[in-house]
């Protein structure tokens, strides 16, 4: 005779059934109606925050049930998905950064992924694997967008180390904003001319946005980025990403990478209503020499091409793409004054490509 456990006998007697194990992500995915037209959140926000919520798209809501779904990450993912569904854009760092800001998210994202799938069909196994691999309670977002021939799925997740509360993205001249106390952290705030205010966040700090234009705030600790965000004061936020506006140049070698970099730098100056830098072969030579001789020879290198070292800056980047290098320079508060110098000046570039990626050196000589 088989004896049933007392607890099970009690459940049966009460008409109860044993509790079933929760459905896996793959099992959930198999039950959903993907013909439902995707619903995307608005990709643009007026303020920065990190808000938990429920997806508008019922398919996404079912797939991500129980996850820490972040509405600001979802807005960023929507921006990327809409571009990708039109065969534009990417989830590279430079594109992701501005999509995050547009969606009102000021912290670094740890990963962004995109997948093309069958139109009105379920997500592929990579999407399911991504959902299963996420750390528990990590802020995340998943969206889908429908293109002419396929559905695009975009996922982002991050793990902010601090909470800055709600911060302005678009505001009026003269308004203040407050950065809370963050033990051991330092802030930098560049005004529209590139002048930088800096201090420790050992206590709450009020900052005044005193002039019209784009300000750039940066919070870091021990060399690690904690938050970074532009604030648009007395102006509208841009409708396109900064590095989306230059004419496309296919990068196949060092020469084409150099042309792409010059086109981006020229377009950036144009977007800020500034005259472009003038290409200069002597500054090209300085950039090339600096690449081989290093920063300890900066003064001698600039003097060697006949210019005043006090008016020159040299930047180096090692990354995977030209766009990522330019992105690194543009959104560094300490480089804003040189980047946005209203007097223009001379530009030299040297680019090397290898299997490891790109190494790019820019030599700038400020105008009079």
Indicate the domain borders of the chain: 20-157, 169-233, 245-366
pLDDT tens for residues 70-111? 999 999 999 999 999 988 888 999 999 999 999 999 999 999
Does the domain formed by 245-366 have CATH 1.10.3720.10? no
pLDDT tens for residues 223-259? 999 999 999 999 999 988 888 866 778 888 999 999 9
What is the pLDDT, as a whole number, of residue 88? 82
What is the pLDDT, as a whole number, of residue 136? 85
What is the pLDDT, as a whole number, of residue 258? 94
φ and ψ at 86, to 5 degrees?
-105, 20
In 3D, which of 72, 108, 112 has the Cα closest to residue 225?
108
Q: Residue 359 belongs to what H/E stretch?
A: strand 357-366
φ and ψ at 186, to 5 degrees?
-125, 145
Indicate if the pLDDT at residue 48 is higher than 50. yes
Q: Which CATH architecture has domain 169-233?
A: Sandwich (2.60)
Indicate if the pLDDT at residue 292 is higher than 70. yes
Mean residue pLDDT across the chain: 92
Q: Residue 29 belongs to what H/E stretch?
A: helix 25-29
Q: Residue 263 belongs to what H/E stretch?
A: helix 254-271
Residue 1: band (very low, low, confident or very high) from pLDDT cuts 50, 70, 90: very low
pLDDT tens for residues 146-179? 998 899 999 999 999 999 999 999 999 999 999 9
Average pLDDT (342-367) is: 94
How many Cβ atoms from other residues are within 10 Å of residue 199's Cβ? 13
What is the pLDDT, as a whole number, of residue 367? 86
Check for a shared fold between 169-233 and 245-366. no
Percent of the chain whose predicted confidence (pLDDT) is above 90 = 85
Indicate if the pLDDT at residue 113 is higher than 90. yes
What is the pLDDT, as a whole number, of residue 179? 98
> Which of 6-20, 93-107, 205-219, 271-285 shows the lowest per-residue confidence on average (mean pLDDT)?
6-20
What is the pLDDT, as a whole number, of residue 15? 55
Give the Cα separation of 193 and 245 in Å (integer): 22
Tally helices (H) and strands (E) across the chain.
11, 17
What is the pLDDT, as a whole number, of residue 17? 56
Does the domain formed by 20-157 have CATH 3.40.33? yes
Average pLDDT (189-199) is: 97
pLDDT tens for residues 16-47? 555 666 788 899 999 999 999 999 999 999 99
188 vs 21, residue with greater confidence: 188
């Amino acid at each position: 005779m088989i004896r049933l456990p007392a607890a099970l006998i009690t459940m049966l007697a009460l008409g109860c059934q044993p509790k079933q194990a929760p459905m896996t992500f793959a099992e959930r995915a198999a039950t959903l109606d993907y013909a439902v037209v995707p619903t995307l959140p608005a990709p643009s926000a007026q303020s920065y925050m990190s808000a938990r919520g429920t997806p508008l798209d019922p398919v996404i809501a079912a797939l991500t049930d129980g996850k820490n779904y972040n509405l600001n990450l979802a807005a960023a993912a929507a921006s990327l998905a809409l571009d990708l569904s039109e065969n534009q854009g990417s989830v590279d760092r430079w594109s992701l950064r501005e999509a995050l800001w547009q969606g009102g998210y000021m912290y670094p994202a740890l990963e962004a992924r995109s997948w093309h799938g069958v139109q009105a069909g379920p997500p592929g196994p990579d999407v399911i694997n991504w959902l299963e691999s996420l750390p528990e309670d990590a802020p995340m977002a998943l969206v889908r967008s429908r293109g002419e021939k396929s559905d695009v799925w975009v996922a982002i997740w991050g793990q902010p180390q601090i909470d800055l509360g709600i911060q302005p993205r678009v505001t009026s001249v003269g308004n203040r904003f407050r950065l809370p106390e963050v033990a051991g952290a330092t802030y930098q705030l560049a005004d529209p001319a590139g002048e930088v205010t800096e201090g420790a966040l050992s206590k709450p700090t009020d900052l005044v946005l005193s002039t019209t234009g784009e300000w750039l705030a940066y919070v870091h600790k021990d060399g690690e980025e904690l938050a970074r965000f532009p604030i648009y004061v007395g102006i509208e936020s841009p409708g396109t990403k900064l590095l989306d506006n230059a004419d496309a140049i296919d990068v196949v070698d060092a020469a084409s990478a150099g042309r792409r970099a010059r086109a981006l730098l020229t377009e950036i100056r144009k977007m800020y209503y500034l005259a472009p830098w003038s290409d200069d072969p002597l500054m090209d030579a300085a950039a090339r020499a600096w690449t081989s001789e290093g920063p300890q020879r900066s003064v001698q290198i600039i003097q060697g091409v006949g210019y005043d070292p006090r008016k020159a800056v040299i930047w180096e980047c090692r990354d995977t793409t030209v766009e990522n290098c330019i992105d690194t320079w543009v959104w560094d508060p300490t480089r804003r004054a040189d980047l946005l110098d209203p007097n223009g000046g001379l530009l030299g570039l040297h680019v090397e490509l290898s299997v490891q990626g790109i190494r790019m050196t820019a030599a700038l000589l400020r105008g009079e």
